[in-house]
Structure formats: structure tokens, C-alpha cells
Amino acid sequence: MGKIPGPPPFDGLKRRIARHRQEQSGVPGQSGQFVRQTYCLTRAEARVIAREWFDAYPKAAYWTEVESWRQLEGDCIEFTMRRLPTAD
């Protein structure tokens, strides 16, 4: 009777995945191709910051957008702005 082989080793795959993730998000504040920044501000302050992002990084060139947002207790908004690092 032969020995039943166990699962194949995944060490090589794990190293490749880790290397890929490191290359894609090696810059702080950057995940993949996008630069992201998360804020927690009052509604009025959130509007000012979002407008600053859209003025500094036009949507047509940088794909700037409010990636996610949620309303917290009181008048606070937590939101994440996203843009491309350069306008190529």
C-alpha cells in the first residue's frame, strides 16, 4: 500500500502573494493604484476637505472620488477620499 500524499506545499505561492502585495501597496497611504485618505470631521469640515481634493485633483484626470462614507453620532462624517497618484 502506498502512502497517501498530503496537501501540496504552498510556501512558494505564499511568498509570491506576499511579494505582490508589498509591491502594490509599498507606499504608505497607497493601496494598489490609488492614494486613499480617511477623515472623521463635522459635516461642514468634510465638505471643505472633499472640495479641496476635487479642486487639487480633478476627477477627470485623477479619478478622484469619495470612496465611502458614513454618518456618525452628532454631526460627524467618516469618509475616505480616493485618487490616482498621478494624472497620466
Render pLDDT for 21-49 as a digit per residue (tens, 0 to 9).
565 554 554 446 889 999 999 999 999 99
Using CA atoms, how far apart are residues 10 and 51, in angstroms rounded to an integer? 47
Sheet holding 34-42, edge to edge: 30-31, 34-42, 76-83, 65-71
Full-model pTM: 0.63
Please report the domains of the chain, with CATH numbers, ordered by start residue. 30-88 (3.30.70)
**C-alpha cell, 58:** 480633478
- pLDDT band at residue 16, thresholds of 50, 70 and 90? confident
